Amino acid sequence: MINGPLNTEAVIISGLSDGSVIAAGMDKSDGSADVYTDLCMPNRAAIWDEFIDGAKTVGQNAPYAGTQRLYVQAFMADP
């Protein structure tokens, strides 16, 4: 359990990294999942379509300009 920046307690559940599971937990509004920290688009467009545009049970703030990349060992990055 950690003390979060909003003066609330948070539990980070190791291994819970499937965005679909997180969004479905948020959709239930039962406290099983409250925050999804990063939704990479367009890879996760199905989550956006179902929970943000569709059911409107997950809200979002203004997106930031992120860059998606493929990460490899350094010797492979620069031929």
Reported for 5-14, long-range contacts at CB under 8 A and 24+ positions apart, including other chains, are 10/35
The larger pLDDT score, comparing residue 60 to residue 12, is at: 60
List pLDDT tens digits, range 21-77: 888 888 998 888 888 877 878 888 999 999 989 999 988 887 777 666 777 777 777
pTM exceeds cut of 0.85 = no
pLDDT at residue 11 in the model: 75
List pLDDT tens digits, range 39-50: 878 888 999 999
